[in-house]
Structure 1
């Protein structure tokens, strides 16, 4: 897990006066803490997905009931959607710091010194796009490939009741939606491209 430098929580002056700068720094500290917590949760969701996929596959093989494979897409969809929403929130926090909080604080301090340099520096890394593409591949592999594999095995080991087939087709559509959203939120823009709201 990547850690980023954070600004210490500002203290209220002895006279009790709270300045705008102190409030903005407190906001920065709070959202960076939220970002770090969400990053930890997001990373753990990958491990949870792998564990759930292995457990469901083992249960299906042990019980010799292929219809249990319909549990695997459901698990991947729930965990994958939670992963995606956390990943989006992490990116949104970084974008907010770069495009809103930093300019306000810079204007307030009237300083030529760049603030929160890390928020921009890691995006200018020339290998960022290749890492983002690899991450996109890993996300699709973790959350979309196991459900597709499970559904393929299910369909090729029939016959199954109509209800099971209906569930599997609904799950296929849901996995397609999840894959589309993962690709949409992958943030494969060039570091010098304008920030876009999502």
Structure 2
């Protein structure tokens, strides 16, 4: 039978562990919902690209419609990028902060939440991350820049829309630079 002091000494650890596990479950749920949203944004970007191209091809004499695509690409791309950053931040937090706290709460030397780091040890990680960077740029930056260039080469470019198109090109290049800078192409996370 346990004495009152033993119960009192174990309760804080049990309470702390329960709080840490609840935090883990909440963060994993948020991470999962962000992954679903991020992945759906790729399909939304493809649909927007197809819809804009269909609109431009059908609307002869209205090259200004090309200027819709940079706006759509950057907005969807930024939302995709921010979600991807949060997904990674949650994973880093789980591995660097929550896992050590769980280990400390158990008073054992064994590791917990090892999936948060083990799955990043794939020998093809650098190749996968490089390909993901290329796909992100091909999905969100390249179509936006191509549509601006196509607008610039079209007949009947208006001065006011030329200014808009230059601004769109600069914003798109800024977005692309931010995605490239944030890309973690290291062999291990």
TM-score by length of 1: 0.86
1:179 CA displacement: 0.4
CA distance in 2, matches of 1:83, 1:53: 15
Residue 33 of structure 1 aligns with which residue? 29
- Please tell me whether residue 53 in structure 1 is matched to residue 49 in structure 2: yes
**Contact 2:95 2:114 (8 Å CA) reproduced:** no
- If each structure's helix is expressed as a fraction of its own residues, which one has the higher value? 2
In structure 2, what is the Cα distance between the partners aligned to 1:188 and 1:91? 13
Distance in 1, matches of 2:177 and 2:157, equals 28
Q: Give the structure 2 partner of residue 114 of structure 1.
A: 111
Q: C-alpha separation between the residues in 1 aligned to 2:184 and 2:29? A: 22
Q: 1:170-198: per-residue Cα shift (whole Å, max 9, x none)?
A: 00000011101111222212317xxxxxx
Equivalent position of 2:173 in the other structure:
176
Residue 158 of structure 1: CA displacement? 2.8
Partner of residue 161 from structure 1, selected from 153, 158, 161: 158
In the TM superposition, what whole-angstrom CA distance separates every residue of 1:88-113 from its partner, at most 9, and x where no partner exists? Answer: 00000000011111111111112222
1:98 to 95, 98, 119: 95
Contact 2:123–2:187 under 8 Å retained in 1: no
| C-alpha distance in 2 between matches for 1:30 and 1:87 | 17
Q: Classify the secondary structure of the residue corresponding to 2:186.
A: coil
Which of these residues, 39, 43, 47, is aligned with residue 43 of structure 1? 39
- TM-score, with structure 2 as normaliser: 0.90
Q: Does 1:72 align with 2:63?
A: no
Unaligned runs of 5+ in 1: 1-14, 193-198
Say if 2:74 and 2:140, in contact at 8 Å, map to a contact too.
Answer: yes
CA RMSD of aligned residues (A): 1.6
What are structure 2's unaligned runs of at least 5 residues? 1-10
Bigger relative CO (Cα 8 Å, ≥ 6 apart):
2
What is the aligned counterpart of 1:126 among 120, 123, 148? 123
